[in-house]
Amino acid sequence: MPNSGLVVSDTSPLLNLALIDRLDLLEVQFSGVTVPRQVWSELTEGDDGLEALRGLRDDGVLRIVEVERSDLFVEIFHELDLGETAAICYAVEHDTDLVLLDERDGRRVARRHDLDITGVIGVLLRGSKTGEVDLKSELDALREAGFWISDDLYAQVLSEADE
């Protein structure tokens, strides 16, 4: 059953799920995903996964929102890129239940604002626990798509899935 809480995503988790053809996990795990316009612009700069992402948007799974350049936005933008900044600001300002972020710096800033975080690996791990994902093959696909996963994290995630 999908989580009905407010979920906001940065670019990386969406793009990487698109690259391994697993955007379906978003529909299964969440009632919808909110995407700041800045993140959507980053996603549409390239062609990778664009058709599938547009399909999710058209189906109402991805909801594009405007994020204003508030004082918080300006403060965070000194540390992060535009998409991460917008996702975290929206999450803080709308008391989001979960933020999808992959980059270390973005996660650090999100934790500073007491946000709950997961990323592409967390989405895959959730899917493996419900039997929707062969975790090892999807982690391998992520690596093949260019997503860096340390050997230690790879082993840790596979171990956690077995628990």
The pLDDT tens digits for 94-151 are 989 899 999 999 999 999 999 999 999 999 999 998 888 999 999 999 999 999 999 9
Q: Are 118 and 30 a contacting pair, CB within 8 Å?
A: no
Domains held by the chain: number: 1
Strand pairing report for 98-100 and 62-65: unpaired
Domain harbouring 105, CATH code: 3.40.50.1010
- Do 14 and 23 touch, CB atoms closer than 8 A? yes
What per-residue confidence (pLDDT) applies to 1? 43
Express each pLDDT in 36-74 by its tens digit: 999 999 999 988 888 999 999 999 999 999 998 999 999
Computed over every residue of the chain, the mean pLDDT equals 92
Q: What is the pTM of this model?
A: 0.92
What's the burial of 100, exposed, middle or buried (CB within 10 Å: 0-12/13-18/19+)? buried
User: pLDDT at position 2, please?
Assistant: 52
The predicted pLDDT at position 35 comes to: 97
The domain in which residue 83 lies consists of: 7-120
Query: Domain for residue 146, yes or no?
Result: no
Tokens encoding 145: 């798509």
pLDDT of 162 reads 79
Domain-located, residue 24: yes
